[in-house]
Chain A
């Protein structure tokens, strides 16, 4: 089972019934797996902050949800995460590609690699990095932590995890 299939299985264990996404190339296979699952309502959005707010609305409908996006997209929604989710203590679970890592040789991801985690720490958003297949089983714990901490929680997927060792 590849990483996307394993993550999808763990999200099912979490009881996820709605996913809102805007892809980057690392996370696209996971999004397409979720889109093909008719047990999960999949919402394609035009901007990542839409996914954040859709999941926040779903929370009040009693529906467990996940927002999927790339690291650049995460940076674009920090205002909404602060003024909607922090302000009202609304949990939102985000799965994000950890772009700009030392094995991500894309110059346009370099700033994201250096500044994303310091930014999350400034906002006091918890995060967890999943780097290897055996760590995918931690997703239900991460989801429960998000609910308990009542704030945005970012689960990062590394290049090694989603592209494979040495890819």
Chain B
């Protein structure tokens, strides 16, 4: 399964979910597939999209929140799985696009080169709904059930590393503009107040 195919499949099944994307490949591909402003695209804090998504999910218990993580980012903060398990947010789904390499810096191999069972780690942390999906056909078959089940869930999408990968361009806005576009999108979508009456 190619990264782009996996991300496009997620995007087709997304429904109303708010998305939080790890920096790099996950964020860039999600932007390419969705052009969505009710998604937060990390530019830094590698590893902590997971924690950001958890904070969002706990704050909006009635809104589905999808984390589009990547294996490099997950390895930066494996402890996030313990925190997710302990908080057990029913509205949080954790997807990991896993290619075993640091794609955006030239596909250099990751630590432990392909031997890690991330879904096994998630289960051992206490996230019982955890699985690995290796083909697009299997992903298409299982996604409706994943969307329908309660969180927290953990779904690892095993994708091919793409040598000579032409980097997908990132989203066309950044920094404070991303903050305000994302926050305003959530205000419109959910009827909540993110920014106060004076705009901060």
Contacts and interface: CB of A to CB of B under 8 A. Distances in A.
A49 B60 contact: no
A48 to B, nearest CB: 10
A29 B54 CA distance: 25
Contacts of B200: 147-148, 150
Main secondary structure of the interface of A (DSSP, over half): helix
Counting chain B CB atoms within 10 Å of each CB, the highest count among A47, A51, A65, A148 belongs to A47
A57 B200 CA distance: 15
B83 A56 contact: no
Interface string B44-60: 11011111111111111
A54 B52 contact: yes
Contacts, number: 124
B179 interface: yes
A84 B86 contact: no
A57 B55 contact: yes
Contacts of A58: 55-56, 58-59
Given A41-B58, A53-B51, 19 more contacts: A17-B59, A43-B87, A44-B86, A49-B45, A52-B51, A54-B58, A56-B55, A58-B58, A58-B59, A60-B59, A60-B182, A61-B58, A80-B44, A80-B45, A80-B48, A83-B44, A84-B48, A87-B43, A87-B175
Interface of A: 17-18, 20, 41, 43-47, 49-63, 65, 79-80, 82-84, 87-90, 147-148, 150
